[in-house]
Structure 1
């Protein structure tokens, strides 16, 4: 429950310090204490204060944001968790969101290396809030490397709160990242007989194209194994090749379930550098356990 200034005044004893002063003391203690448990208690308290918007001016005044970033930049998973939990709430403040975007590389580094599901879940919520705020470009906040890590968590986590652990019938979107190599193109050419020179080493790498059918094959792989899943049969497809798909470039492949019925509908796209290079939709015959 959020507080009012009148409520805070009524709750503060006459001889006690007010919340503004207490937050300042907590920030000072973080920088002066050498006791790990004390630091963990400080960040826990500051994270609790970050929950209520009435405290945000006090947190700004005490420069608590620097504490949260410093805690993120440690090797202590408890401090890191307190910090990301605080930022997850505090980021609803516009100035805070701008500050976090400026320090986004620190959050990203922890996200890429952590094995703590709680940290991942708070981070995903924070990333969502930052994207929704529209204060920065998507590319600055979300990198291909980060998306790969999200994909790893989706596929390997045993935590029931993580999306990947839900039954496939509950999934609404699957996203994978592919980087097509020249070896991929040559293998595909050999298998299909498509030896068009635009896919070969005869073309400069900046002009070389990935086979359109190879992109569609990756989409088919997602449809048949993840969304909707095994047993799915493609009945009808419509797609467009909007731009050349280049080799040795991260390609984000997204499949979305639009209608989950016996005859299901999916939409899909492939992006490079935020440009859609391939997009389409399909009608699918799904097995009963998937529909």
Structure 2
């Protein structure tokens, strides 16, 4: 599910752009782009990269944590929703957690508890739980925040209600909860001022500009923005060349003769699955999607020179999305088929299991 550093060293794009350089280009794209849509798509990509621990060091160097913290105070709901999702992903790492806490992140995150956006509130509650340390616990379990959680625990929204209940049960003493219920505060969370150091974060430099222009290829839809329903599907086609197979063999060190020296070279099964993953992660459901379980079958071989049609179809849409997919070579034989369970964006929130 996660990436090894050795794989990153070997894995470069067509123009030999490594992972760090690509992330640097993304941050520069966000900084320089004047398009709201482009900025939103870049931000969604950064949040997706924040899920993989191998990227933590890179994101720290590029000050992406600062970017996410700054955007929490923006008026744009999309920017806020994705930024708190990124912080939620990153704060699982002890070093990131410490940085966020000491950058007044608790205050910034807690200010989102009054948001009208459900996903933002869910991510904010989850992030506060992830940020709890002996140092930060007194701040995170302040009377104002506990009062907000008590309010949420009575919500008609089952997701928010369950999450707030977990917060109160796992991190707050019964005595404190009882006292605050009997003596509610007069200062709501929304009135907690953000420190000036956070408000002034416009001054930080995201990264140095590249001498050449670059436009990242970004998905047109974000998983969390789609109204998915059973039956939604998409099909794309891809012609697989000998060079594709050889490049994949070099990437994986899989030089099995059936792939590279056979009279009819067979495409690696993992290569076909990668094509499916590309559709799932950029098209349907879209950016931010994570595969948590897969079943794959290879009924017939796929050969170099074949044109493959990759179809993904949504089966059910709940907290875990189920889809099925198949790859058909030259419109005549099924070379891959299977099904998967997926999580859409804000995956850290959806890791918590609720009664459905």
TM-score for both structures, normalised by structure 1: 0.53
User: Does 2:73 correspond to 1:70?
Assistant: no
User: Does 2:119 correspond to 1:108?
Assistant: no
Partner of 1:80: 80
Does the 8 A contact of 2:72 with 2:109 survive in 1?
A: yes
Aligned residue runs from structure 1 range 28-177, under 5 A: 28-101=28-101, 102-103=103-104, 104-111=106-113, 113-131=114-132, 133-134=133-134, 136-158=135-157, 160-163=158-161, 175=177, 177=180
Partner of 2:181: 178
The structural deviation recorded for 1:49 is 0.8
Separation of aligned partners in 2, 1:96 and 1:139: 19
Name structure 2 gaps, 5 residues minimum.
185-356
The structural deviation recorded for 1:72 is 0.9
Partner of 2:329: none
Partner of 2:5: 5
Residue 119 and residue 180 in structure 1: after superposition, are their counterparts in 2 closer, same or farther (change >3 A)?
closer
Separation of aligned partners in 1, 2:81 and 2:13: 32
Does the 8 A contact of 1:157 with 1:164 survive in 2?
A: no
Does the 8 A contact of 1:91 with 1:100 survive in 2?
A: yes
- Secondary structure in 1 matching 2:131: helix
Separation of aligned partners in 2, 1:98 and 1:14: 37
Does the 8 A contact of 1:2 with 1:54 survive in 2?
A: yes
- Secondary structure in 1 matching 2:43: helix
Separation of aligned partners in 1, 2:156 and 2:100: 27
User: Which has the greater radius of gyration?
Assistant: 1
Separation of aligned partners in 2, 1:147 and 1:81: 22
Residue 19 and residue 172 in structure 1: after superposition, are their counterparts in 2 closer, same or farther (change >3 A)?
closer
Residue 157 and residue 11 in structure 1: after superposition, are their counterparts in 2 closer, same or farther (change >3 A)?
farther
Residue 37 and residue 10 in structure 1: after superposition, are their counterparts in 2 closer, same or farther (change >3 A)?
same
Q: CA RMSD in A?
A: 2.8
Name structure 1 gaps, 5 residues minimum.
182-291
- Secondary structure in 1 matching 2:181: strand
- By relative contact order (CA 8 Å, sep 6+), the higher-ranking structure is 2
